[in-house]
Amino acid sequence: MSLISVKNSFAIAPDQRIWEVFLPSHLPSWLTILQDFPSESKIGLFLLIWLVLWLPIALLLGKRLNWKPFQPLAAEQKIPLLVPLYLLVPWLGWLSLLVEGTSLSNYGLYGQWNLLISLCIGVLLGLGGLGMVFTIEGGLGWLKWHRENLNQLGKVALPIFALAVWIALTEEFVFRGIFQTILEEDYHRWVSAMIVSGIFALLHLLWERQTTIPQLPGLWLMGMVLVIARWVDQGSLGLAWGLHAGWVWGLASLDAAQIISYTGKGKDWIIGIHQQPLAGMMGIFCLLGTSFVLWPWL
């Protein structure tokens, strides 16, 4: 049974425009000007407003966290800075809906059970891909499993899952939802996907550069796979959201609980430079394998 047939069996309603009731019938004149902007200008303005709104908050938090812009972030610094950044997205999304005169469904968010079904399928597919990669690496002696830390995994898994779902939803709404949809107004969908995936990869440099630069090809490929997931899901973000959440949840949980450690027997370019899976061939193979699973439904 295909993904589409599984989802259709749970369909409960046609397209529901959730935020339509919050949109005014007439736009202010200064917003109507933005409607004629090229798609890349709209995205640039979106990112500029996002940065301008977040930067004062980040600077105030940075003083408390002993962090300065353009310096590497420790794990305990990143989440407090990320939270206000992502809390701005609903407002920016509402502004985008105003300018584009569209609905959430056009950005891939539907008020249907289908979205949650796709989310669950995506999480399972994402975790399955990670499981295969780490099983192979363990079998080859490149990493060691620490089963004595399974109790710790049980403690951190649920809160990390909630965080992963929120982060994935926010990023998918912005990149595969708003940006991809806007760019497709002016460009072929594959060109749009390549541009959006490039933006997605480069913006990760905001947090850390030394470990992120080797991951840029992997981050770009990850973005492409997530766009394909949206296309496979008939425009819904559910499958891409689930894949993204599954990857974040799996990697963050294993790291927080210290379930695995690398033995040093594997080459960095294979397992990942700085032990980052997206900076190595195994991570690339995981993404390519996911795309091969999705491709027949495209």
- Please provide the average confidence, as pLDDT, over all residues in the chain: 89
Burial grade of 172 (CB within 10 A; 0-12, 13-18, 19 or more): buried
Domain residue ranges in the chain: 86-297
| Model pLDDT, residue 8 | 47
pLDDT at 33: 76
Examine the pLDDT at 20 and tell me if it is beyond 80.
Answer: no
Look at residue 70 in the predicted model and tell me its pLDDT. 67
Distance between CA atoms of 128 and 243, rounded to whole angstroms?
10
Please tell me the predicted confidence (pLDDT) of residue 280. Answer: 96
Report the 10 Å Cβ neighbour count for 142: 19
- What is the mean pLDDT of the segment spanning 239-256? 97
Task: Please give the backbone phi and psi of residue 261, each rounded to the nearest 5 degrees, phi first.
Answer: -145, 145
Q: For residue 268, what are its two tokens?
A: 């960095």
For the ranges 13-22, 112-121, 180-189, which has the lowest average pLDDT? 13-22
Residue with tokens 């736009």: 27
Encode pLDDT of 146-205 as tens digits.
Answer: 999 999 999 999 999 999 999 999 999 999 999 999 999 999 999 999 999 999 999 999
CA distance 191 to 179: 12
**Can you give the pLDDT at residue 258?**
94
Q: With 0-12 CB in 10 A as exposed, 13-18 as middle and 19+ as buried, what is 206? A: middle
- CA separation for the pair 167, 5 (Å, rounded): 28
This prediction has a pTM of 0.90
Average pLDDT over residues 204-219: 91
pLDDT in tens, 79-95: 899 999 999 999 999 99
Among candidate residues 223, 102, 252, the one with its CA nearest the CA of residue 163: 252
Greater confidence, 280 or 113?
A: 280
Name the region of 70 (left: φ>0; alpha: ψ -120 to 50; beta: rest).
Answer: left
Residue 75 has pLDDT above 90, yes or no: no
Whether 20 and 101 have beta carbons less than 8 Å apart is answered as no
